[in-house]
């Protein structure tokens, strides 16, 4: 079993006070010290999963690990992933700037995305992002202009839609044919001709695909490799150029509930490596450098969210709603993707789970529900609710809906806790507001 198959951070335990503890830190004490809602990240789990990825792929000599920054990106997380030997899969100027501002070289990183602005492309070129995954024809022209203006040559991969569907939520399928991402395979030859004939400041070195997120299958990775290697063989034969890189994206699922059974990192590594060996030979090409982009599977399990229980409502002959001090603005995934979570009560984790309740958020939307119909100990005002596996796409997708402040995030390790994102205050909230003179 690898850590992405765990329901909780690997350091989770019940301490002598009868409280939940992660990273040697009492969660009730963390809630008291830092307030709630609160994101808590276990450094040991992050580093363990990162090492598991490197070990799983160690049999393949040319492997490059990129952390998918969209899952959760702060300067502290960037430092951790850099120290574990990872580069970064970046999808915005903000993510590029975060890594750069942490004092980390961008040479091992890749800039990805379907509608990069010219300013973002300029930033990527100026700051030395190692490779750029080009998504469309307009971007080819924009990037060439940005590189030409700086007298640089930029290494690029073409992002393609491989025509593979994974069995996941509709909104997080990114590899099927009807997708906003990438070149259709029928457009690749035209793109390559433009690069070779017109865009002299671009150097095509490989192809890139991403087949989805929260993937529980393994054969799909084998198939993705075959599609990309076949495409490389076609390009090499037609244009007499050698492409040495394939980027397979990420997407490995994690365990949100006891019913979830994601494959291990080792299982997908075996599928990918065997597919590269077999299909490189089948299509008569050299085995390429492989890029993998894990995000959720590194930080998802590593992070939990703490909430303080407030009011409750028993609907006559219906549900019992228990409200907490956060909700859809700090964790929009249940509303967006119908995501399902597991929770415990941090101050009484050993009490019998004898009451079925629905955990409601504090926001002015009927759909602001964090967990439906979960069995928990009877909840009282002031209890601390711990929701597991919220480390990915919580803070990164959060908002100030209802003008509610964004939570803080802390990193725990060896009984020490450190703030990695400050809690917003009301001055932060209004700092970008402006009142026109005519309204004063």
Mean pLDDT of 363-371: 96
Answer with the one of 283, 299, 315 that is the final residue of a domain: 299
- Model pLDDT, residue 3: 87
Answer with the one of 261, 284, 299 that is the final residue of a domain: 299
Q: What is the tally of structural domains in the chain? A: 2
Mean pLDDT of the chain: 94
- Model pLDDT, residue 173: 39
pLDDT in tens, 70-80: 999 999 999 99
Position 438 in a domain: no
Residue 178 has pLDDT above 70, yes or no: no
Range of the domain at 316: 3-41+304-430
Position 437 in a domain: no
Position 270 in a domain: yes
- Residues 37 and 48 grouped into a single domain: no
Strand 20-22 and strand 25-26: pairing?
antiparallel
- Model pLDDT, residue 179: 60
Position 440 in a domain: no
Residue 259 has pLDDT above 90, yes or no: yes
- Residues 100 and 34 grouped into a single domain: no
Distance CA 136, CA 187 (A): 9
Question: For position 279, which CATH number holds?
Answer: 3.20.20.10
pLDDT in tens, 120-175: 999 999 999 999 999 999 999 999 999 999 999 999 999 998 876 544 444 333 44
- Residues 196 and 261 grouped into a single domain: yes
Distance CA 158, CA 92 (A): 18
- Residues 214 and 324 grouped into a single domain: no
- Model pLDDT, residue 181: 73
**Which entry of 25, 166, 364, 386 is annotated as an active-site residue?**
364
- Residues 34 and 128 grouped into a single domain: no
Residue 182 has pLDDT above 90, yes or no: no
Question: For position 20, which CATH number holds?
Answer: 2.40.37.10
25 catalytic? Reply is: no
- Model pLDDT, residue 165: 57
Answer with the one of 299, 316, 340 that is the final residue of a domain: 299
- Residues 223 and 353 grouped into a single domain: no
Position 418 in a domain: yes
- Model pLDDT, residue 170: 40
- Residues 35 and 89 grouped into a single domain: no
């Amino acid at each position: 079993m690898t850590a992405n198959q765990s329901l909780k951070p690997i350091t989770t335990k019940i301490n002598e006070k009868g409280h939940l503890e992660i990273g040697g830190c009492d969660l009730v004490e963390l809630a008291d010290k830092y307030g709630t809602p609160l994101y808590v990240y276990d450094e040991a789990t992050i580093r363990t999963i990162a090492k598991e990825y490197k070990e799983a792929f160690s049999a393949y000599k040319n492997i490059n690990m990129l952390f998918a920054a969209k899952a959760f990106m702060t300067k502290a997380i960037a430092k951790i992933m850099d120290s574990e030997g990872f580069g970064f899969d970046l999808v915005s100027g903000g993510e590029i700037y975060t890594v750069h501002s942490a004092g980390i070289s961008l040479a091992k990183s890749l800039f990805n995305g379907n509608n990069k602005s010219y300013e973002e492309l300029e930033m990527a070129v100026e700051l030395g992002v190692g490779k750029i995954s080009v998504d469309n024809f307009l971007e080819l022209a924009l990037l060439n202009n940005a590189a030409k203006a700086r007298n640089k040559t930029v290494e690029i991969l073409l992002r393609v839609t491989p025509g593979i569907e994974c069995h996941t939520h509709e909104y997080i399928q990114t590899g099927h044919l009807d997708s906003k991402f990438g070149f259709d395979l029928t457009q690749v030859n035209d793109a390559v001709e433009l690069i070779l004939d017109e865009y002299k400041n671009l150097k095509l070195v490989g192809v890139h695909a991403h087949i989805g997120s929260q993937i529980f299958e393994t054969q799909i990775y084998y198939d993705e490799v075959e599609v990309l290697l076949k495409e490389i063989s076609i390009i090499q034969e037609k244009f007499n150029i050698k492409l040495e890189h394939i980027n397979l994206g990420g997407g490995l699922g994690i365990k949100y509930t006891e019913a979830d059974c994601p494959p291990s990192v080792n299982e997908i590594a075996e599928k990918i490596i065997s597919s590269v060996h077999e299909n490189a030979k089948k299509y008569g090409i050299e085995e390429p450098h492989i890029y993998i982009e894990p995000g959720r599977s590194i930080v998802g399990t590593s992070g939990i969210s703490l909430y303080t229980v407030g009011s409750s409502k028993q609907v006559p002959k219906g549900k019992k709603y228990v409200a907490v001090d956060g909700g859809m603005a700090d964790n929009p995934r249940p509303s967006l993707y119908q995501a399902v979570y597991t929770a415990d009560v941090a101050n009484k984790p050993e009490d019998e789970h004898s009451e079925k309740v629905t955990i409601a958020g504090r926001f002015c939307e009927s759909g602001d529900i964090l967990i439906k119909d979960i069995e928990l100990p009877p909840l009282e005002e002031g209890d601390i609710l711990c929701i597991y596996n919220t480390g990915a796409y919580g803070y990164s997708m959060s908002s100030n809906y209802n003008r509610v402040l964004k939570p803080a995030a802390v990193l725990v390790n060896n009984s020490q806790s450190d703030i990695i994102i400050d809690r917003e205050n009301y001055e932060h909230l209004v700092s970008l507001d402006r009142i026109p003179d005519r309204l004063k």
